[in-house]
Chain A
């Protein structure tokens, strides 16, 4: 028999109280993390938070497709841009079953490391994240139950892709307000954790770095070989170094370190600052506040289409039927709503960002930026998934099925331009996606100034 005490209003009141009190506990019926450790989260939340049918009193059911006609019933479960996309632009989202198995929300190694190191992180005197001994973070989620906004953003910032090395082959289309693709780029995004690694080491003893990350474009021909190298310091007060390489001139160009609010190439709507909802060193932003807790619908599972050619995802909606990628959303029973302001960027056009973070894996499910007038500007929606599609799957080195992001929809709602990017099996230039270095010296191959000049010659 369902316990009536735990209805929607009860959860809402509880979330309000926790937000007001600055409480950090997660779970409504039972503490969440012991259940995550046990491998079954189903007892943490009442049905009203795990069942969209219960939440909407039957108006929307698992398996339904959200459209303009029924999206009002779940308006409170979506960020405002996603709601507008469905309500006015013909976007459709399928509601899938709520995840109860925590392993579906993590790469297995990251989950294991997070559980192993749970409770060992703290904010140092200078605001950086350290272990109890004051050294760099050990790996995994540093703050499983974040008490502050700083702790919540640290969970996103310290390890973007949740692997020690990720290499994403990406195909991106930039859609004009009229619904036509204005630009199409193929590129590779590589990120190597220098510290906060799952293997517990510092990469090549580079203790002053957090990560090294590069992007190189492989198509179309006119930009192929153009590449960027961003070196992040562990000290989150410091701006990353950013270099670009132009193969035609054989020149490296250094960008201003605080140039974080510009696209890498024309047509792209997202900025470096938007990446992973934590694209800048966390202490270059400030005024972090947890402003609420709430259930959300998020693209957290069943979003990988490995059985399709090159893992590509279907499109629909918008004026020409190609603005949105197909996506599956499910109930995320409890999300932290975090706000922050770009205090370290005196010329930032962004006023603040709002991030909805799923407490089950401390990963964001929605991200919105506002301009300085307080008007909604952009979203950066990421689809996450276990890399298993029927019998097709991608395995990690230990044989577990992998987990990563599958798509990005970055929507500048003011200019009404959309960038939709898919994490594909491979992209132009023959580069393949991989979630480990596979024994290759990726640092010297992809992540130095010399490396990016070589990439440009390819």
Chain B
């Protein structure tokens, strides 16, 4: 009786027209979905949605200045109190008001009328802009201006650096009008325009970061094109015939159309920061096609009939291909366990793309092989006749590698592997969670953005904030919760407790600070009037005083527009994990002292860069081992079933897990912690890395019979055939992904590329060394079975004799 896979293969070949038409129709359907494809970075979707800090962030997105661009103008040779620098500042402030999408009500610098000083007059209080309607030019005007700055404590603390050499311009954008790319281009143009021999201008803030990412994402498409070109060239160099080049390209292209078209129809945006993974899938598809095509060459060389050769190849390769791709799919889909929306969408996109590799990589490829002209250099490609130097080189190298895995050398290899495993596991377990950097981990350390962040951190309270949100229970409370005595008193107590703690923030700010200053000024200017009476009347009076004649937008960093919710901002000197841990611990303690639940509001910890960094670390800590564990379980079940042996599952999983430990150990040794990158790489590494093992183990099963149960010859034969394809696959992956590390301006993408390359290389080495070594040591009995689902053997003589009933075929050597 024919086995199912051979019956499928025969049916497909007998109905090539129908099957091809089906592929055309499905491709047209998904092709139509391409017009809906959207590549878009949604930054909030990169955060774990179930994390309490992220939930605070999402409930209060206006706190922590997510829409504010900060420009720092620094005088290189002196302070800012000179006509040239002040003139530059004035004009830069005016020019940033022309930025597309900017909120004209929310531009703040010492040149805007919003930066004010107050003087007591006989009639009351006179509040005036620090800078008049003209830039101070004469020494007297400049001295006068400086005197006014000294009367404005908020300007001194937040707009002018301690040494007076730098000043800030903050411009907040309107979310629904903000086109990050356009705004970035404009503001970055200002940075260039206003930098000169005496002045440095730095740009930071979330819109600037987003702008940089978008800027580099356009670069990403060029790198994508370059790497795809390199992949095709490598393929051409290796194959040197039409069918060998066209088949992988068409197959991979169709899978890509299906992959992109699918998410197009779902209208699910694709995260460009993770585009290196689809490229991995392209490389994966190409390498799979190479394995498939090489096997086709071998069959074709024997049966000399394209259609028959394609049919046999499909029958032979269907099971190991499906099993390999199944592992890829599991690895990718399991990424979605981490509750990060961008990862969920990405898992859907790439997971289905991987699923599409089954019909395209098994059926479509067979149709193409049956239809395209037969290759003329088959003998050279399969090692008969004069093979090329490349192929010879691969083969001799692999013969040498094979020697490490059997006989006497195997014992030494086993000991070395054992030592390596112990060291790798031990070192890997020391790895820390998180990769704190000053600025953004999306960009390189020496990027313009991260340099700007460092400069601003150096001169001002900076960008590392922790926000403790005082959330109104009724967001439409007519009493305006943010201006109630209990709320304001709580703000002040929180600030006091944090400032007195063991790791005090370098600055704190809340609406209470403005109210106290308002209280002092309107009570006559004496500092003794700074404290507010702890009653609603006094607090409300101070709130009215400070907001009179202005929009509540002027205070949007500390209260919301409706004056219901408010925040206490705490600035820290850095975001190292020790600082983050101490800050969060102190904040939790402070909240427990002031009470989390109040009659009109609750205190929530928290948002800001410090809390969100911890949220990312939490998700990595929570899910890193869970994902690896689940992946192991699913793959173990799948492989054990396929090989009808639990031992087979273990033999396959040991090298990939060891590879993961070695990768983590290497990261730890070079000072990289576990982060969201490594979470993805670990899942993909195990899922995709195990393919090597599956192909090799299936070949070992086949060669074991062909070499009369001689383990040594079996291993050599397997490594010099399938091992060669594995090496080529790894090379293809290297070509496809490694350039990202060198070409991408996005560190996030480069890091992921590097980690993927490393994990694939480690997996390849372990598949070629550790897996045959394990087989040799264990000598598993399943290898001797002839009824394996994933066995690659077939008796080709049957097809040269008669075209029927080969399902009961015995395993035989192909060559």
Contact = CB atoms under 8 A, between A and B. Distances in A.
Contacts of B710: none
B551 A263 contact: yes
Contacts of A251: 124-125, 522
23 contacts: A220-B478, A226-B544, A246-B544, A248-B540, A248-B544, A249-B523, A251-B124, A252-B124, A253-B522, A262-B549, A263-B549, A263-B550, A266-B551, A266-B561, A267-B552, A346-B134, A347-B111, A347-B113, A349-B104, A373-B98, A414-B174, A415-B105, A416-B176
Interface size class of A (residues with CB under 8 A): 35 or more
Interface of B is mostly: mixed
Contacts of A253: 124-127, 522, 545, 548-549
A377 interface: yes
Contacts of B561: 176, 182, 266-267
B230 to A, nearest CB: 44
Given A247-B541, A265-B548, A416-B176, 5 more contacts: A176-B561, A176-B562, A244-B548, A253-B522, A267-B551
Nearest to A351: B98
Interface in A255-305: 255-256, 258-259, 262-268
Contact of B545 (A249, A268, A346): A249
A248 B97 contact: no
Interface string A372-385: 11000100000000
Nearest to B559: A266
B551 A246 contact: no
* In the complex, the 7 A-B pairs of residues with the closest C-beta atoms, listed nearest first: A248-B541, A252-B124, A266-B552, A349-B104, A249-B522, A251-B124, A222-B540
Contacts of A226: 544, 548
A268 B478 CA distance: 16
Nearest to A222: B540
Interface string A340-371: 00000111010000000000000000000001
A249 B515 CA distance: 13
Interface string B105-122: 101000111000000010
B94 A347 contact: yes
A414 B553 CA distance: 14
B129 interface: yes
A347 B121 contact: no
B519 to A, nearest CB: 8
Contacts of A223: 544
B562 A414 contact: no
Nearest to A412: B105
Interface string B694-709: 0000000000000000
A256 B107 CA distance: 18
Contacts of B480: 222
Interface of A: 176-177, 180, 182-183, 220, 222-223, 226, 243-244, 246-249, 251-256, 258-259, 262-268, 345-347, 349, 371-373, 377, 414-416, 449
A246 B127 contact: no
A378 B549 CA distance: 19
Interface string B479-491: 1100100000000
A249 B552 contact: no
Contact of B538 (A248, A266, A372, A373): A248
Contact of A246 (B97, B107, B545): B545
A259 B545 CA distance: 16
A220 B540 CA distance: 12
B540 A266 contact: no
A264 to B, nearest CB: 6
Contacts of A347: 94, 111-113, 133
Contacts of B94: 347
B95 to A, nearest CB: 9
A223 B112 CA distance: 26
Contact of A258 (B121, B133, B478): B133
A26 to B, nearest CB: 36
Nearest to B119: A254
B804 interface: no
A266 B559 CA distance: 12
B124 A254 contact: yes
A222 B483 contact: yes
B103 interface: yes
Nearest to A377: B104
B522 to A, nearest CB: 4
Contacts of A249: 522-523, 541, 545
Contact of A259 (B100, B113, B522, B537): B113
Interface in B146-192: 174, 176-177
B30 to A, nearest CB: 34
A449 B551 contact: no
B511 to A, nearest CB: 12
Nearest to A373: B98
A348 to B, nearest CB: 9
A372 B100 CA distance: 10
B78 to A, nearest CB: 26
B675 to A, nearest CB: 36
Given A182-B562, A414-B177, A373 B124 contact: no
Nearest to A269: B551
B476 interface: yes
A349 B562 contact: no
A255 B549 CA distance: 8
Contacts of B567: none
B128 interface: yes
B516 to A, nearest CB: 14
Contacts of A263: 549-551
B549 A259 contact: yes
A254 B134 contact: no
Contact of A349 (B100, B105, B537, B563): B105
A158 to B, nearest CB: 26
Contact of A222 (B103, B124, B543): B543
Nearest to A183: B562
B97 A372 contact: yes
Contacts of A449: 123
B125 A254 contact: yes
B547 interface: yes
B540 to A, nearest CB: 4
B176 A254 contact: no
Interface string B190-211: 0000000000000000000000
Contact of B541 (A177, A246, A256): A246
Contacts of A243: 123-124
A256 B118 CA distance: 11
A256 B128 contact: yes
Interface in B512-547: 522-523, 537-538, 540-545, 547
Contacts of B550: 262-263, 266
Nearest to B522: A249
Interface in B436-457: none
Contacts of A345: 133
A373 B121 CA distance: 39
A107 B515 CA distance: 46
Interface string B620-651: 00000000000000000000000000000000
Contacts of B544: 222-223, 226, 246, 248
A223 B480 CA distance: 12
Contacts of B174: 414-415
A346 B549 contact: no
A345 to B, nearest CB: 8
Nearest to A249: B522
Contact of B547 (A258, A265, A415, A416): A265
A254 B121 contact: yes
Nearest to B545: A246
Nearest to B537: A248
Contact of B126 (A254, A258, A415): A254
Contact of A266 (B104, B113, B177, B547): B547
Q: Among A249, A267, A349, which residue has the most Cβ atoms of chain B within 10 A?
A: A249
B60 to A, nearest CB: 16
Given A226-B548, A373-B98, A377-B104, A254 B127 contact: yes
A377 B542 CA distance: 31
